[in-house]
Amino acid sequence: MKVEKPGKKESLEPTRSELEILQVLWQHGPNTVRFVNDQLNEQKREVNYASTLKLMQIMVEKGLLVRDEKAVKHVYSPISEENKTKGLLLDKFVDSLFNGSVSSLMVHLLDNKHASQQELDAIQELLKKAKKDIK
Amino acid sequence: MKVEKPGKKESLEPTRSELEILQVLWQHGPNTVRFVNDQLNEQKREVNYASTLKLMQIMVEKGLLVRDEKAVKHVYSPISEENKTKGLLLDKFVDSLFNGSVSSLMVHLLDNKHASQQELDAIQELLKKAKKDIK
DNA sequence: ACTAAAGTAGGAAATATTTCCTAGCATCCA
DNA sequence: TGGATGCTAGGAAATATTTCCTACTTTAGT
């Protein structure tokens, strides 16, 4: 598979670890390695500071993050806005697992997630709006 | 990160390449390495036969596939049924990117996928059913 | 001022995943 | 029968990703 390697063909596709870091930055805004590392340890799993640092450096090289070095404590920010990245990942996920079929995904989603009444209502509203937008 | 490595903590979580193989088997049913390899080359990307074979052997070891060796041409089947695996992956995806919020996912889905009128109708039906099931 | 703690960095090392190579066996056809 | 083709296998090698180690600088506290 010289031509297209998973996670390599689309060089902007974050690895699993990178995605975890992006999530912290999406949630809390631009931040230092220390902060991200602490959050990961709190919310996800045990991660060594130097590991987090290294990953974030690589993400800068890959064009996923940008680093502000004005202070001694460097502040990292995602380059691409959250919605864009999530959209890309969602696209890929639906294409990958459901052949691009939104309704096919919905079948599984409603089956497995046991969405609450509130969520179903909210989704219904979204649907109405989407249908209106099409017309 | 000694405790939980991406793709390792949940040993049943297929890697990207493995998922491609699973998809072929879901789509066409139990099959030989040759068949899977041809399909991958047709639909996805250039993959060397021996690479596909190796991956499928590993998937057997990981408990993702089972192999019927009665004939010279071994036939591989997924162990876990399609819906279960997709459900797991979907769960993880929604939790991972959308903090488990189905409606949050829907916002992006409807934004990005530009679902057709037909699909929106179909989703609406699914929604009705889901709401009925809750009551 | 000194020391401990905290921040950054490069790169080696480890681990995970995939590709490639070689070899043996089975099948098919001239 | 012999050769070509196809199937399987083990494991080395390559590649991707992550962890770890060491070192330097800065900051903070006594």
Of residues A7, A115, A134, nearest to B16 (C-beta): A7
Q: Say if residues B99 and B107 touch (Cβ distance below 8 Å).
A: no
The 8-class DSSP code of residue A6 comes to T
Residues B88, B63 share a domain? no
Q: What is the mean pLDDT of residues A100-121?
A: 82
Phi then psi for B31, rounded to 5 degrees?
A: -155, 175
* Residue at which a domain ends, from A78, A108, A126: A78
Worst-scoring range by mean pLDDT, A31-35, A62-66, A119-123, B65-69?
A119-123
d(CA A98, CA A87): 16
Which CATH number does the domain housing residue B40 bear? 1.10.10.10
A121 within some domain: yes
Same domain, B86 and B125: yes
Three-state DSSP at B4 gives coil
A32: which residues sit within 8 A by CB, 6+ positions away? A73, A74, A75, A76
B72 shares its domain with B86: no
Same domain flag for B88 and B70: no
Best CA proximity match to A14, nearest among A51, A54, A50, A63 = A63
Judge whether B99 lies within some domain.
Answer: yes
Report percent pLDDT > 70 for chain B.
88
Residue B10 covered by a domain: no
Lowest mean pLDDT among A24-33, A55-64, B10-19, B82-91: B10-19
The residues close to strand C, meaning Cβ under 7 A, are: A 1-2, 5-6, 32-34, 49-50, 53-54, 57, 67, 69, 72-74; B 5, 7-8, 15-18, 47-48, 50-51, 53-55, 58, 72
Decide if pLDDT at A81 tops 90.
no
Classify residue A119 by its DSSP letter: H
Residue B44 DSSP one-character state: T
- Are residues A69 and A89 located together in one domain of the fold? no
* End-of-domain residue from the set B61, B78, B95: B78
Shared-domain flag, residues A27 and A47: yes
Claim to verify: residue B94 and residue B130 sit in the same structural domain: yes
Identify whether B127 is part of a domain. Answer: yes
- Find the Cα–Cα–Cα–Cα dihedral A8, A9, A14, A17, rounded to 10°: -30
- Is the Cα torsion angle A85, A86, A90, A91 positive or negative in sign? negative
Task: Give the structural domain span for B73.
Answer: 16-78
- Say if residue A24 is in the same domain as residue A70: yes
A3 is a domain residue: no
Name chain B contacts of A98, Cβ cutoff 8 Å.
86
Angle between helix axes B82-98 and A16-28 (nearest 10 degrees) is: 40
Q: Which residue has the tokens 């072929």?
A: B24
Give yes or no: residues A91 and A70 share one domain: no
Domain assignment present for residue A48? The answer is yes
Segments in B1-134 forming alpha helices (H): 16-28, 33-43, 49-61, 82-98, 102-113, 117-134
Q: Given A78, A93, A110, which residue is the final one in a domain? A: A78
Whether residue A30 is found in the same domain as residue A73: yes
A68 close to A77: Cβ distance less than 8 angstroms: yes
Q: Cβ atoms within 10 A of the Cβ of B46, count?
A: 11
Average pLDDT over residues A72-91: 90
- In order of A66, A77, B36, the CA distances from A72 in angstroms are 15, 16, 53
Residue B36 has pLDDT above 50, yes or no: yes
| pLDDT at position A126 over 60 | yes
* Structure letter (DSSP) for residue B73: S
A21 and A67 inside one domain: yes
Co-location of A64 and A101 in the same domain: no
How far does the CA of residue A25 sit from the closest CA of chain B (Å)? Answer: 12
ipTM above 0.90, yes or no: no
| Structural domains in chain A (count) | 2
Of the pLDDT bands very low, low, confident and very high (cuts 50, 70, 90), residue B135 is: low
B6 occurs within a structural domain? no
Domain annotation covers residue A20: yes
